[in-house]
Structure 1
């Protein structure tokens, strides 16, 4: 239950926190951050990420001129070229030939394709889930991965937002856009539900990666 005076950005953070926390605590991610997985596992994560970011950014291009949703779309957030650069550096120029979506990745991509081109609330939900996370926890991930795998900029460009010099200022502005939305309660509820679904879809990708790579997620 939410207070009537609670801002939409505050509501999103509080009501989706459990799914957010479970996703960040997925065994595959914990193993990666602990340095128990090799560089190939990291590259596999980037490859699967590329597939759903590519679809989300296609949806963003479709919404650019929309007066309500368009302001959320920013070239400073686009991750496709950075992912392409990281994958080329980690796996060579033929990385696309080796890229096959895992079942969970296919479901995630299909969901984005099904709802994000037609529903403003669904697009904002997936946009919010991906990019605010990238600007927040993603920076901690980048620092850890650089140390674990001996990387500098090459290989971790996905986490480098060189067009966002002050992430906190940018995130505050993004939350301001959320709070300015004049959506009715059903659309706000749809937004919250889709954010939670996006977290679950993302967590399923982590689980599939662990299974596909046969990694020791227990750390034993």
Structure 2
């Protein structure tokens, strides 16, 4: 695995902390016996992230992200904590339940935690369930990376070997969806993060060639 040249300046917005991923295998199935050990503080962070995936959002768990964070998956691009809160608190409304089937930490650097994740999602009415295996990268805030409460600058959830494009109609839809959900939620928990909205001041998304870190997923 090549080193990820993540920024050291915590003042930079979350967009600057993206790690570009290229898989050398499509095996995203986690093997817990091979999982790298984490410090208690980092294990607590991972436990909170997995609880969010499992439809158990709390304000404290959303606070695991910096206010200028980015969440990036195949459906959503949320570029502040208010929009991210909308996504996490919407999950229990969209799914009957979500169960973590296992994870494997494959990288534990000062400012990057990467893990394979297996999650089973059950739709309302228990009519159908689907299990998704993904590789998740958490780029950590440099100022809190070694603290008792590390926070995430950029959360990338990638369900196949092809990394995401940040241009074109597909990306525009992902961003539009994230922009709208938080405002549509009738939730005091989401509104608690309203001041974290960056609609008026966040930087435009940068092209990939302008400094995002590259990291080949050789552990897969």
| TM-score scaled by length of structure 1 | 0.26
| TM-score scaled by length of structure 2 | 0.26
Larger fraction in strand: 2
